[in-house]
Amino acid sequence: MRCHACRGPANVEIRRSRTAYCARCYPAWFRTQVQERIDHERMFRRDQGILVAVSGGKDSLALWHALTELGYRADGMYIRLGIGDYSQRSQAKSEAFASERGLTLHQVDLKEAQGFAVPDLLDTRSGKPCAACGTVKRYHFNKVAADLGYEVVATGHNLDDEAATLFGNVMHWNVDYLGRQGPVLASTHPKLVRKVKPLYRLSERETAAYAIIERLDYILEECPMAKGAKSLAYKGMLNALEEEQPGAKYGFLVGFLKQGRHAVPGGDFDQATDLRECTRCGQPTTGELCAYCKMADRGRKKSASKAAKYAR
C-alpha cells in the first residue's frame, strides 16, 4: 500500500477508511483527526486552560502530546491510585513525559490526601475496584480542575474504550448511562468542569501507532486490578468483530451518537442539573453526601483495618 499523503511506501493502514500512511505523514494525519473533533464538537478554544488527565499509558500521553503540538495550553494531572508497582511505574512515565518537555503535571496522592487507596475499594460482588476507581478518578479530575481554575478536563478515552462502554451499557440496558455517554459533558454547575474526549473516534491501534512513531515512552502493562473485568471481554469481542468487518466498532459508536442517543429518554450530553453541594466536601451532587464521600468512608475503614491486622 502507498501513503495517502506522499505516495511513498505506507506503514500504518487505516482499514475502516481503506487508507494508509507512512511513518512520516501519519502523525500529521492523527493530529488533524484530533483537531477536527475538537472543532466539530466545540470541545474547547485556544484561549482556554485545559487539564489533561494522564495515566502514563499510550492514549493519554498521545493526547497530551498532540494537544501541545497543536498549540493548545494543556497541563497534566496524575492521580496516584496506590496500585502497587503498577502505579509507581505509571507515575514515573507521566513525570518523565512532563519534565522532558517542560510541561506542568499536577498530582493527587490518594493515600496521603484521603487515607485510602484503590485496592481498599473492592466491590463485594465483583471482587474488583474498577467501578469505584472510576468514581475516584472522575471526582479528582473535576476537583483539581475546578480548584485550579481550568475550564476543561480532557481524558484519553479512545474508540475501543467508548465502544466497549457502549456495549456494556446496552448489554445491561443502563439507560441513564446511555443517555449521558458522549464525547462532551457540558458544565451544569459552577463547580462542575466541562469534560471532553478528543480521541473518541481514534482506535487503540491508531493511538498506539502515534505513540510509537512519536517515540513516546509509555507504560505497556495494563492495570493489574482490571484482569477479568467485563470491559476487557467486551473489547475482545468487538475486536473479533472488527477483524471480520472493518469499521464495525466505529459504526457502532458513531451510529449510536448520531441516532441512538436521541431515542434514549433524557438522552443528551449534559451532566445532572439538579445539583447542590455535598455537605462534607462541597462538590456538586444530587444527594446530601456525594458518592465519593460515601465511598471514601468505606475505603478509610478498610485501610485502617488492614493496618491494624499488620500491626498485630
| 291 Cβ contact list (under 8 Å, min separation 6) | 135, 285
Q: Does 117 help bind Zn ion (rule: CB under 5 A)?
A: no
- Sheet with 194-196, side-by-side order of all strands: 105-109, 74-80, 50-53, 152-154, 194-196, 184-185
Q: Give the Cα separation of 274 and 271 in Å (integer).
A: 9
Residue 29 or 200 with smaller CB distance to ligand AMP: 200
Binding mask 245-284 for Zn ion (x = CB under 5 A): ---------------------------------x-xx-x-
Residue 66 or 225 with smaller CB distance to ligand FES: 225
Residue 4 or 230 with smaller CB distance to ligand FES: 230
Name the one range near ligand FES by CB under 6 A: 125-133, 169-177, 185-193, 268-276: 125-133
CB of 148 to ligand AMP, least distance (A): 14
Residue 4 or 111 with smaller CB distance to ligand AMP: 111
DSSP 76-127: EEEEE---HHHHHHHHHHHHHHHHHHT--EEEEEHHHHHS--GGGG--TTTS
| 57 Cβ contact list (under 8 Å, min separation 6) | 90, 156, 218, 219
Q: Cell numbers at residue 114, please?
A: 484521603
Q: Does 156 help bind ligand AMP (rule: CB under 6 A)?
A: yes
Residue in 58, 106, 157, 261 binding ligand AMP, rule: CB under 6 A: 157
Q: Cell numbers at residue 273, please?
A: 442539573
Identify the burial level of 254 via C-beta atoms within 10 angstroms of its C-beta, where 0-12 means exposed, 13-18 middle and 19 or more buried.
Answer: middle
Q: Give the Cα separation of 105 and 95 in Å (integer).
A: 7
Residue in 226, 241, 248, 293 binding ligand FES, rule: CB under 6 A: 226
DSSP 4-30: TTT-SB--EEEGGGTEEE-TTTHHHHH
Residue 62 or 278 with smaller CB distance to Zn ion: 278
Binding mask 81-100 for ligand AMP (x = CB under 6 A): x-------------------
User: Contacts with ligand AMP: how many residues (CB under 6 A)?
Assistant: 14
| Residue 170 contact among Zn ion, ligand AMP, ligand FES, none, beta carbon within 5 to 8 Å by kind | none
Residue in 129, 156, 284, 299 binding ligand FES, rule: CB under 6 A: 129
SS3 content of the chain, % helix, strand, coil (to 5): 50, 15, 35
Residues found near ligand FES in the complex (CB under 6 A): 81, 118, 129-130, 133, 223, 225-226
Residues found near ligand AMP in the complex (CB under 6 A): 53-55, 59-60, 77-79, 81, 137, 155-157, 161
Residues found near Zn ion in the complex (CB under 5 A): 278, 280-281, 283, 290, 293
